[in-house]
């Protein structure tokens, strides 16, 4: 009888040493399992044991930004889903809703976030920014003004920027995928 108790206490000790799965990790696992995204959105987990930090590449197949491969980091804290993920563009791109530092202006990442929203909603929203940039809620006000005033010039600027062009005193990253 003593050996059984000894074995159980060793198992209990081993169980205590395992890292606990947080509510955020459980929710992210569910969100990832439920994802239904097009092949124009790719996820990459540099550290497969850490699902709270991953990379996303968006390759729009229509609109101004076709031929580009736009890279983002997603950082999810332990308050998810009560707080939205932190999304950051890792490249310098010309976009009204993404500033030159990589900050992203998407309403559901800020004031319109609700815990019922999921990673699916964020990925679709991010993808949609490349199909229909929003000049009415810009982070890059100069790009938004050009989009409002002259769509042809905006398109020309995007085409120049995605191949690593320079204009307006800014050198953009080559993001052609």
Which residue from 15, 1, 41 is spatially nearest to 127, judged by alpha carbons? Answer: 41
Whether 74 is covered by a domain: the verdict is yes
pLDDT of residue 15 exceeding 60: no
pTM assigned to the model: 0.88
* Count of domains forming the chain: 1
89 is catalytic: no
What is the rounded average pLDDT for all residues in the chain?
92
For the domain that residue 140 is a member of, what is the CATH number?
Answer: 3.10.110.10
- The answer to whether residue 11 is domain-embedded is no
Residues 107-146 pLDDT 10s: 999 999 999 999 999 999 999 999 999 999 899 999 999 9
Tokens of 97: 């809703």
Mean pLDDT of 51-64: 97
177 is a domain residue = no
> Which pLDDT belongs to residue 20?
79
Q: Is position 96 within any domain?
A: yes
Whether 14 is covered by a domain: the verdict is no
* Domain assignment of residue 7, yes or no: no
The answer to whether residue 29 is domain-embedded is: yes
Task: Average the pLDDT over 142-156 and give the result.
Answer: 98
| C-alpha–C-alpha distance, residues 175 and 93, integer Å | 8
pLDDT at 87 over 60: yes
Residue at 8 is within a domain: no
Nearest-5° Cα angle at 60, 138 to 55: 80
Q: Which domain holds residue 119?
A: 20-171
Residue 3: is its pLDDT beyond 80? no
Instruction: Indicate which residue of 105, 123, 144, 146 is catalytic.
Output: 105
What pLDDT, on the 0 to 100 scale, is given for residue 21? 85
């Amino acid at each position: 009888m003593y050996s059984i108790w000894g074995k159980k206490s060793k198992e209990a000790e081993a169980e205590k040493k395992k890292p606990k799965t947080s509510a955020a990790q459980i929710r992210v696992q569910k969100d990832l399992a439920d994802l239904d995204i097009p092949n124009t959105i790719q996820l990459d987990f540099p550290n497969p044991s850490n699902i709270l930090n991953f990379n996303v590449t968006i390759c729009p197949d229509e609109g101004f930004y076709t031929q580009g491969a736009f890279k983002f980091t997603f950082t999810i804290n332990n308050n998810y889903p009560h707080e939205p993920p932190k999304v950051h563009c890792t490249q310098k791109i010309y976009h009204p809703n993404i500033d030159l530092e990589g900050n992203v202006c998407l309403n559901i990442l800020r004031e319109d976030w609700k815990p019922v929203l999921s990673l699916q909603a964020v990925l679709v929203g991010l993808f949609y920014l490349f199909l229909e940039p929003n000049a009415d809620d810009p982070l890059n006000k100069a790009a938004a003004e050009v989009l409002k005033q002259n769509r042809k010039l905006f398109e020309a600027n995007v085409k120049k920027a995605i191949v690593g062009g320079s204009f307006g005193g800014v050198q953009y990253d080559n993001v052609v995928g």
